Amino acid sequence: MTISTLPALVQQFFTDRLCTQMEASPNTIASYRDTFRLLLHFASEQTGRAPTKLRVDDLDAKMVGDFLAHVENERGNSARSRNNRLAAIRSFFRFVAMNEPAYMLHCQKILSMPSKRYVRKTVEFLDRQEMDALLAAPDRSTWVGQRDHAILTMVLQTGLRASELINLRRCDLVIGTGAHIRCEGKGRKQRCTPLRQATLQVMESWLKKRGGADSEPLFPTMRGSKLSRDALEHLVRRHTLRASKSCPTLIKKRVSPHVLRHSTAMELLHHGVDQTVIALWLGHESVETTQIYIHADLSLKEKALAKMTTPTASPERYRPNDTLLAFLESL
C-alpha cells in the first residue's frame, strides 16, 4: 500500500475535505490556511527541510506543542487564537487518520492534545444613549452619510455579523407587510430577521437613494462594489469618534461591528426577550453562547439582589457529629 506524502495530504484536505465535502466558508478556509502556513514554516525551520520535503512523522505531538507555544509566546497570539490553531490541526489529523490508517496512533497523540483554558472577558456593548448618539453621527445630507446611517441602523436592530452585513444584496431586503432581512450566517444557515417600522423607513429611504439591481450589494462602496470588512470597521470607528463628542462615555470604549452586535443582544435582553429567542435572532448554534450576555448584564444581577431578603435565622457554624467527619473537616 502506498502512503500519501504530507504535501499530498494537505492538498487533499483543503480541496476534498474542506471545499468539497464540508463546503467550509471562505473565512474557515482562510483561517485553516493561515494556520498551516505558520505550522509548515515553523516545522521547516526546526527540521531544516523545505515544506514540500516534510513528512507526516515530522509533525508529531511535540512539534505541534512547540508550534502552539511559539504562536502564543513569540507571535503574541492569545490563548483563544492558540486554541483555534489547534482546532485546525486536529481537523487535519482526523482527516489523515481516516485516509491513512497507518498513521492512526500518530494522529491519536495529536488529537488528544488539550485546549488551553483562558479567561473569558465580559463582552463590550453600548447602552441606549450611546446607540442613539452613534446613529446620529453620520451626515445624512450626503450619499455616504445616508448609507452609513442605514448600515448602523440595520446592525443595531438586527445584530448581523460583519460578514453577513457586507454580503447582503438588494433582494435580501423584503419591504412591505412582514418586512424582514434575509442573510446567510455561519455554517451556511439562512435566517430571516424582522424589521421595526423605524428601521423599515430608514431602509426605504436608502433604497430610493441607492437604486440598482436586486443582485447588487445592499450597502455598496461609491464605486458600486461590495463593502469590505475593513471599510465597515473603519466607518464604525469614524462615526464612534464623532459621536463621542456628544456622548463622552464612548471615548473609553473600543467600538467595532461585533460590539454593535453585542449591543443588539443586550437591548433584547433588557426588554425581557427570552434567551432562546435571542439565540435564534443572532443565529447562534447553541443557546449556551447567548449566556455571555446574561453574565455581562449587571442590571439583571442588581434586580436579583434587590429581591433577596435578609435571613431571619442567625448563622451557626457547622459542627460534625461523627469522629470520621470531624477528621475530614480538620484536613
pLDDT at residue 19 in the model:
87
pLDDT at residue 302 in the model:
67
Q: Are 125 and 69 in contact (CB under 8 A)?
A: no
68-75 mean pLDDT? 94
Q: Is 270 a catalytic residue?
A: no
Q: Are 38 and 67 in contact (CB under 8 A)?
A: yes
Q: Is 258 a catalytic residue?
A: yes
Structure-model confidence comparison of residues 233 and 273, the more confident one? 233
Q: Is 293 a catalytic residue?
A: yes
Calculate ∠ Cα 79-82-87, nearest 5°: 125
115-128 mean pLDDT? 84
Q: Are 225 and 217 in contact (CB under 8 A)?
A: yes
Among the listed residues 186, 226, 253, 270, the single catalytic one is 186
Q: How confident is the model at residue 98 (pLDDT cuts 50, 70, 90)?
A: very high
Helix (H, G, I), strand (E, B) or coil at 193: strand
pLDDT digits (tens, 9 = 90+) for 124-174: 899 999 999 999 999 999 999 999 999 999 999 999 999 999 999 999 999
The span from the CA of 212 to the CA of 162, in Å, is 22
Domains of the chain with bracketed CATH: 6-111 (1.10.150), 128-306 (1.10.443.10)
The span from the CA of 94 to the CA of 112, in Å, is 11
Buried b (16+ CB within 10 A) or exposed e, 207-230: eeebeeeeeebbbbeeeeeebeee
Can you tell me which residue has the cell 504535501? 7
Q: Is 254 a catalytic residue?
A: no
pLDDT digits (tens, 9 = 90+) for 44-59: 999 999 999 999 999 9
- Which percentage of the chain shows pLDDT scores above 70? 91
pLDDT at residue 291 in the model:
74
Q: Is 180 a catalytic residue?
A: no
> Edge to edge, what strands does the sheet with 180-184 contain?
173-174, 180-184, 190-194
Q: Are 119 and 33 in contact (CB under 8 A)?
A: no
Q: How confident is the model at residue 1 (pLDDT cuts 50, 70, 90)?
A: very low
The span from the CA of 307 to the CA of 201, in Å, is 41
- The closest alpha carbon to 67, from 85, 90, 47, belongs to 85
Q: Are 226 and 217 in contact (CB under 8 A)?
A: yes
The span from the CA of 308 to the CA of 26, in Å, is 50
Among the listed residues 17, 85, 106, 161, the single catalytic one is 161
Among the listed residues 32, 284, 295, 301, the single catalytic one is 284
For residue 238, pLDDT over 60 is answered with: yes
Q: Is 284 a catalytic residue?
A: yes
Among the listed residues 70, 90, 258, 270, the single catalytic one is 258
The lowest-confidence range among 25-39, 108-122, 146-160, 245-259 is: 108-122
pLDDT digits (tens, 9 = 90+) for 260-316: 999 999 899 888 888 888 888 888 877 777 777 766 666 666 666 677 666 666 666
